[in-house]
Amino acid sequence: MDTLTIIALIVSSSLFAATPLIFTALGGVFSEKSGVVNIGLEGLMIIGAFTAIVFNLTFDTTFGSATPWVALLAAMLAGGLLSLLHGVASIAFRADQVVSGVAINFLALGLSLFLVKLIYDKGQTDMIDSRFIKKDIPILSDIPVIGDIFFSGIATPTIWAFIIAFVSWFVLYKTPFGLRLRSVGEHPMAADTMGVNVAKTRYIAVFISGLLGGLGGAVYAQSISLDFSHATITGQGFMALAAMIFGKWHPLGAMGAAIFFGFAQSLSIVGSSIPFLDSIPAVYLLIAPYVLTILALAGFIGRADAPKASGTPYIKGNR
């Protein structure tokens, strides 16, 4: 393989693998910025993946090639609804948010596998026919060098991930709603005194995180695994959580971190065919993503401060 092919391959496969993580990590950012820890991202991804696959299999003949997109909407809705459960437990009933998040993870996995069994009478679904594929972007991919590297072999959801990351940044940092959301996460009492409805804001934030988490799972299922089983989502939600922390609870940071994870993994795979890296024993390449992550977390990004009120329920009138 020549250098250009290798670079193009690394970029395209990093972005492809990072896409679901970007969506889910953005979901985490919304929730945590408002002060609700969301360990349930994994569960939201599972329910998103499940809904998307079932929807896709059921309505494939109705919607044709638009099926994956409509399935995304269904998955978002399912993720949003499940996240409201987490919202009710942690906002209204002031339950421990970590415990409630873990419960979401258990519930999502158990429920979805149970339903798969009930609907299809087997342990995993069939593979879907309509799915997201990697394509060359017209016009842009014709630009020499840059076109080959950045605009060839890109799946459409990847472009959406970038757009949504920027929209999230805009919403969180440039709109009144975003300011309220962040203030609720930093100092809910101050926000409350200023007339911000803390509970309502947090519900909205958690709901958005459910939408994005479900979206992440659905994108993963419809572009990578293509079916749903117990092994479809295994830890991607937690990687998204790590990407969010790595990205310092900032939408663009989270996106960068997710791409970094994808990059590290694809480097470890492609590494064996890069002239300089091929003399390194395979085991070092396999652990490279994790080592790079630890190094990056420990050395380069400095202190990562969570929103101050993250994880603490707001009780009116308490000091």
Partner 1 sequence: MEKRKFGFVMSMVLAAGTILGACGGGAEEEATDNGGSGEETDKFTVAMVTDVGGVDDKSFNQSAWEGLQAFGEENGLKKGTDGYDYIQSKSDADYKTNLNTAVRNEFDLTYGIGYKLKPAIEEVAKQRTESQFAIVDDVVEGLDNVTSITFKEHEGSFLVGVVAGLQTKSNKIGFIGGIESDLINKFAGGFEAGVKAVNPDADVTIEFAGAFDKADKGQQMASAMYSSGIDIIYHAAGGTGNGVFAEAKSLKETAPEKEVWVIGVDRDQSEEGKVTVNGEEMNVTLTSMVKRVDLAVQDVATKAMNDEFPGGEVIEYGLEAEGVSIAPTQDNLSEESIAAVEEWTTKIKNGEVEVPTVPGKN
Indicate which single residue of 11, 12, 206, 209 sits in contact with partner 1 (rule: CB under 8 A). 12
Indicate which single residue of 223, 244, 248, 310 sits in contact with partner 1 (rule: CB under 8 A). 223
Indicate which single residue of 16, 30, 169, 203 sits in contact with partner 1 (rule: CB under 8 A). 16
Q: How far is the CB of 6 from partner 1 (least distance, A)?
A: 9
Contact of 80 with 211, CB cutoff 8 Å: yes
Q: According to the binding rule CB under 8 A, does residue 75 interact with partner 1?
A: no
Q: How far is the CB of 43 from partner 1 (least distance, A)?
A: 17
Q: Compute CA 195 distance to the chain's CA centroid, rounded to the nearest angstrom.
A: 32
Nearer to partner 1, 127 or 295 (CB): 127
Nearer to partner 1, 58 or 272 (CB): 272
SS3 assignment for the chain: CCHHHHHHHHHHHHHHHHHHHHHHHHHHHHHHHCCCCCCCHHHHHHHHHHHHHHHHHHHHHHHHHHHHHHHHHHHHHHHHHHHHHHHHHHHHCCCCHHHHHHHHHHHHHHHHHHHHHHHHCCCCCCCCCCCCCEECCCCHHHCCCHHHHHCCCEEHHHHHHHHHHHHHHHHHHHCHHHHHHHHHHHCHHHHHHCCCCHHHHHHHHHHHHHHHHHHHHHHHHHHHHCCCCCCCCCCHHHHHHHHHHHCCCCHHHHHHHHHHHHHHHHHHHHHHHCCCHHHCCHHHHHHHHHHHHHHHHHHHCCCCCCCCCCCCCCCCCCC
Q: According to the binding rule CB under 8 A, does residue 295 interact with partner 1?
A: no
Q: How far is the CB of 99 from partner 1 (least distance, A)?
A: 14
Q: According to the binding rule CB under 8 A, does residue 4 interact with partner 1?
A: no
Q: According to the binding rule CB under 8 A, does residue 11 interact with partner 1?
A: no
Nearer to partner 1, 208 or 243 (CB): 243
Nearer to partner 1, 236 or 310 (CB): 236
Q: According to the binding rule CB under 8 A, does residue 66 interact with partner 1?
A: no
Q: According to the binding rule CB under 8 A, does residue 219 interact with partner 1?
A: no
Binding to partner 1 by CB under 8 A, coded x per residue (else -) over 117-136, reads x---xxxx-xx-x-x-xxxx
Q: How far is the CB of 176 from partner 1 (least distance, A)?
A: 33
Q: According to the binding rule CB under 8 A, does residue 315 interact with partner 1?
A: no
Contact of 212 with 78, CB cutoff 8 Å: no
Q: How far is the CB of 173 from partner 1 (least distance, A)?
A: 31
Nearer to partner 1, 131 or 180 (CB): 131
Indicate which single residue of 26, 72, 85, 270 sits in contact with partner 1 (rule: CB under 8 A). 270
134 pairs with which residues across the strands?
A: 155
- Per CB under 8 A, contacts with partner 1 among 230-259 are 230-232, 234, 236
Q: According to the binding rule CB under 8 A, does residue 175 interact with partner 1?
A: no
Burial class (CB in 10 A: 0-12, 13-18, 19+), 231: exposed
Binding site residues, partner 1, CB under 8 A: 1, 5, 9, 12-13, 16-17, 93, 117, 121-124, 126-127, 129, 131, 133-136, 220, 223-227, 229-232, 234, 236, 265-266, 269-270, 272-273, 282, 286
